[in-house]
Amino acid sequence: MTDISRKETTAGVDCGGCSLHDALNAPAAIERREFLRAGALALASLGLLGLGARSADAMEVREVSPLSPTHTDGRAEKRYPIPAVDGASIDKDNDVIVARAAGKVYAFALSCPHQNTALRWNADEKLFTCPKHKSHYRADGSFIDGRSTRDMDRLAVRKDGQTLVVDVDTLYQQDLNAAQWAAAFITG
């Protein structure tokens, strides 16, 4: 754009040659490249402010950190607050998912039993999904469909007051430890 057309489009307002100002005040007078650049800058600004589109997965998953251990906890035990509502929380540092469904609280290994890909919680459908091969699991960890051949792996849990104690080293696979897998939950 030439200096003459810029002066004509600002109608006496000097903003230092701002292309966004030009795009808003005289869109017909600017070149296509300037218009696209101004639009991209505006979208980038919205993204930085958090006003753009957001991923549903990122909005619905709650991250959780373990609580401080007590003197009675074993080396591999992690404490978590018992969830008050149905849903899932993920402790990425310890590869643990804490989930509440229908009055029961579970702890799962974060990875899909098929090929160890980190599972994701879909709050709208109330199920876990493996992003790699699209296996689906109910909130209690039971397998629905996909490439996996078994339910999610549950971790050993116990209730201590208002906390869930998870033994991250004791993993129950539904096909190998059916009785322990079925009993690996607390009522909450």
Buried b (16+ CB within 10 A) or exposed e, 28-65: eebeeebbeebeeeeeeeeeeeeeeeeeeeeeebeebe
Same domain, 163 and 80: yes
Same domain, 79 and 26: no
Query: Could you tell me the CATH number of the domain that includes residue 120?
Result: 2.102.10.10
Same domain, 67 and 101: yes
Same domain, 30 and 83: no
**Predicted model pTM:** 0.64
Same domain, 34 and 72: no
The total number of structural domains that make up the chain:
2
Domain edge (last residue) among 49, 71, 87: 49
Report pLDDT digits (tens) over 167-187. 999 999 999 999 999 999 999
Q: Which residue has the tokens 């696979």?
A: 173
Q: Which residues constitute the domain of residue 31?
A: 3-49
Report pLDDT digits (tens) over 2-24. 444 444 444 445 555 555 555 55
Residues 105-134, mean pLDDT to the nearest whole number: 93
* Sequence-ordered list of residues with C-beta below 8 angstroms from that of 136, at least 6 positions apart, any chain: 127, 128, 129, 130, 143, 144, 145, 146
Same domain, 161 and 83: yes
Take residue 59 and report the two structure tokens written for it.
């909005």
Query: How many residues are listed for the chain in this entry?
Result: 188
Same domain, 15 and 93: no
| Cβ-based burial of 124 (10 A; exposed 0-12, middle 13-18, buried ≥19) | exposed
Same domain, 88 and 178: yes
Same domain, 41 and 79: no
Same domain, 79 and 157: yes
Same domain, 90 and 33: no
- Other CB atoms closer than 10 Å to residue 156's CB: what's the count? 18
Same domain, 137 and 78: yes
> Between the CA of residue 46 and those of 22, 53, 186, what are the distances in Å?
19, 9, 44
Contact 24, 39 (CB under 8 A): no
Report pLDDT digits (tens) over 37-75. 666 666 665 555 544 333 333 334 567 767 666 776 778
Q: Which residue has the tokens 């599972």?
A: 119
